[in-house]
Amino acid sequence: NFNYFFANGAYDPKLWVQLADVSGSLKNIGAAYATDAFDAYFEGKKLEDGGDLKVLKVKGKLTWYASNAFNTFYKGIRFDTSGTLKALGYGYAKDSFDSFFEGEKLEDSNGNLRITKCGYAYDSFNVYYGRRKLERVTGKIKCAGGGYAVDEGDNKFYKGEQIESSVAHFNKKQLKHIGGGYAVSGNEAFYHGKKFENAGPGRKASGLKVLKGPHGKFSNWAKSKLGVVFYKGKEMSNLMGQNVELLGNGWVKAAHQTFYKGVQKRVVGSITVHGNDYATDQMDAYYKGEKMNLMGQASSFKVLGGDYAGSQSFAFYKGEKINGCTNPEKVLGKGYLKCFAKVFYNGESIQTCMNPKSL
């Protein structure tokens, strides 16, 4: 006989969920579902009448929906359907008569639901974003990218919320998501669906471009042809015309100024980004933009792995000094750190059945 557990990615056995009364061997069928000879489980909890369960897929990818001959489930919660359930993606599903989002029936849907590539869905009469039915929608809705969409009547939406805009300057041919949550349409510029500036010729947001980080991903920073710099749609007036360099992990350098997620930081010299939310200047180290107390050991600072970092004599977990750790050695696995004669998990000292010196 074996004991079975659902770990949910946790390395600490105290966080595991033990499955009760497993009959025969347990089979992992995906999306946190499992079956034995007679029953089914979700995240370690037995499902009532869940035997012979199958997880539904969309284009070969698992979803949170599962069903057998008599019951259907979403994340282990049973809900009523009529006939065979079909998963559609983005949390949507349909049966013979109705449509669902995350296991809940959609209002007024006739079951003939179609899904867009940006999370909107529509049938013959209605448009939905998640479980919310959108009002004042004309015809079909089309994606413009980044959560933006426009219908056949030139009404515009961002993640299901209607955007206030000048209709004369906003239509499906002009609306363009340019990255990082920014969009432009005619003479208007938007950030996360909110208009923040005029983008017409000669105006502050004219020719707006979103800046990319060191790995080529769009950021929250943007710059116009006139040299006006924006962070999350807010004008950074003190950076007008300045060259903005994205260093990574939220850090930005502009002329002689340094910013972390749009907030100016006083640093000594230049910032070096180490990854895992750590960074250093010539004197100090930072975790998520906040200065750490290195006790004069900045020159020996290094990232050890995961959320751990260390200096010559001290160790840190998520930017906080670990009590009782001197001479940090190495990260042993996710969450574990060997520190001379001790082992730590998530920054806390733990007991181990092995001699730490042998690890």
* Residue 352 confidence (pLDDT): 65
Tens of pLDDT along the chain (359 residues)?
689 999 988 877 888 999 988 999 999 999 999 999 999 999 999 999 888 999 999 999 999 999 999 999 999 999 999 989 999 999 999 999 999 999 999 999 987 899 999 999 999 889 999 999 998 898 888 898 899 999 888 888 999 999 876 554 444 457 899 999 999 988 899 999 999 999 999 999 999 999 999 999 999 999 999 999 999 999 999 999 999 999 999 999 998 899 999 999 999 999 999 989 999 999 999 999 999 988 888 889 999 999 999 998 899 999 999 999 988 889 987 889 999 889 999 999 987 655 444 44
Q: Which pLDDT belongs to residue 171?
A: 45
* C-alpha atoms less than 13 angstroms from C-alpha of 87 in its C-beta half-sphere: 22
- Nearest of 40, 105, 51, 29 to residue 76 by alpha carbon: 40
Confidence (pLDDT) at 152 = 85
Q: Write the burial class of residue 13 (CB in 10 Å: 0-12 exposed, 13-18 middle, 19+ buried).
A: exposed
Q: How are beta strands 86-89 and 77-79 bridged, if at all?
A: unpaired
Compute CA distances 248 → 146, 242, 253, 277, whole Å: 21, 18, 10, 9
Beta-carbon neighbour count of residue 274 at 10 Å?
16
| Structure confidence at residue 124 (pLDDT) | 86
Q: Which pLDDT does position 168 carry in this prediction?
A: 47
